[in-house]
Amino acid sequence: MNEDRKKRGLAHSKFLTVVAMSALFLSSGNVMATQVASDNVLEVTEQLQSINVTGLVVDATGEPIIGASVVEKGTTNGIVTDIDGKFTLSVKTGAILKISFVGYQPQEVKATPTMKIVLKEDTELLDEVVVVGYGVQKKANLTGAVTTVDLNKTMAGRPQQDVTKALQGAVPGLSITTNVGGIGVDSNIKLRGATGSLSATEGTSPLILVDNVEVPSLSLVNPDDIASISVLKDAASASIYGTRAAWGVVLITTKTGKKNDKPRVTYSNNFSWSTPTVMPQVAKTYEGAQAMLLAANRSGASTVSSIGYNVDEIAVQKMKEWYNTYGGMSQSELGEMQLGRDFEERGGKYYFYRQFDPLDMFMKDWTPQQKHNLSVSGGSDKTTYNISLGYLNQQGILKVNTDEYDRYNFNANVNTQIRDWWSVRANVMFSRSTKSEPYQYTSGYTDVWYYLLRWPSFYPYADYQGIPFRSAMTEIAQ
């Protein structure tokens, strides 16, 4: 019996040895197989991690949306729908698709092999109201050519003293030009063409309404009192306001208080300055005189005479000599005009040689301006109010007897709800502007600036024996 047990134990140990050796060989074979097939496993893994998505994008009525954007979130992998609203896109398993189109609310959905996405209309923009005529209208129901001005871009980002200047370039089709660049000057506003025959005085200027009350100029309105600006550009505005509105309407609504709002006092100010950007340079005495003489020689003349000054070859040479000798001296150092040095008389004619810079003598380097606004607003459950005061002061660029512009604004807006069907509103707008300017001996198109740059730089702007030569500077000093 013991021998049988020994034989069975030996056979059992041999069997275990064979199994162990087989397992060793099999494991080494698996390692080799894994190393050889590793690339194929990665390819299979990538294929298992991505899916092909076929989808359809439609609106609420079931109509296909052409050109909708379908993008895998977090990547640049995307496509647009075709003419039938369909798309095919390969994305990762579990990816999120972002579907969007203009005028519809964007959606984010989880990717599946077959999809149907229904986009809803974005009614937020369509529900925005626009001031039209004597009321408001939703953009969804708006059929006329109306432009709403974005006040945050045109006014809030920069200090504005004049509404007209703020509207320049803000409304398509609205042309604003200024013939004279002085302070307190009204600009020309054209909306529907350049010429018209309906009104000889107004031409094609649009009708300007502030809280449905006509005002003659936008410069009378305080920019800080404005809540919204709408521009009616088509002829349909004439059906509300008549022929006066045939050239368009600029509608301005002022700020009002809010219901159940505590009294709020707001004060703002702005101190700034203006400076010329680019100014013309007047030619030197001998350069300008030489150019005039060459032009006269072409017509057969040897001299040039105008308003008391004369130019010939001798004068040009003496201008060069004067400039080389005294050109570095200031006018205060030179003092009054001296006969023989700055000018002379030859043959009963006067010839001037002294160099002047009329722009430097005439203009400041910078001019100050200030603006102040004070407002009180608030309201209860039935009454709202907004009361504001404004003041603007601007000074001109002239050194002598400069011009000055002041504008005072008062605006009050009170609204009371007496019954559900009855509300009472009172609007008061007061604007007063004063402008002081030097004596204008001619029209606005040929003013002192015109004559200041018209005459050559040897034109005398100094005194002789205590009496000044007549010039643009002597005119404005009156």
357-361 own/partner pairs: CB under 8 Å, 24+ apart: 357/282, 357/457, 358/282, 358/452, 358/453, 358/455, 358/457, 358/459, 358/461, 358/471, 358/472, 358/473, 359/279, 359/280, 359/282, 359/452, 359/453, 361/331, 361/399, 361/461, 361/473
pLDDT tens, position by position, 226-268: 888 888 877 777 777 787 777 888 888 899 998 889 999 999 9
Helix residue ranges per DSSP H, 187-312? 238-241, 285-298
pLDDT value for 299: 87
pLDDT tens, position by position, 366-419: 899 999 999 999 999 999 999 999 999 999 888 888 889 999 999 999 999 998
Strands (DSSP E) found in 357-421: 367-379, 383-395, 404-419
pLDDT value for 172: 79
Mean pLDDT across 24-48:
42
Residue 61: C-alpha distances to residues 118, 121, 149, 214, 252 (Å): 9, 11, 34, 46, 39
**Cα–Cα distance between 161 and 100 in angstroms, integer?**
42
Residue 4 has pLDDT above 80, yes or no: no
Of 24-28, 364-368, 435-439, 460-464, which range is least confident? 24-28
Residue 37 has pLDDT above 50, yes or no: no
Instruction: Band the pLDDT of 359: cuts 50, 70, 90.
Output: confident
pLDDT value for 144: 54
User: Quick one: tokens of 28?
Assistant: 């080494």
pLDDT value for 199: 46
Of 136-150, 205-219, 321-335, which range is least confident? 136-150
**Cα–Cα distance between 138 and 146 in angstroms, integer?**
12
Are 147 and 248 spatial neighbours (Cβ–Cβ below 8 Å)? no
pLDDT value for 394: 92
Mean pLDDT across 448-456:
78
pLDDT value for 167: 83
Mean pLDDT of the chain: 80
Instruction: Band the pLDDT of 344: cuts 50, 70, 90.
Output: very high
pLDDT value for 445: 55
**Cα–Cα distance between 296 and 301 in angstroms, integer?**
5
Mean pLDDT across 421-433:
91
pLDDT value for 42: 44
pLDDT over 90, % of the chain:
36
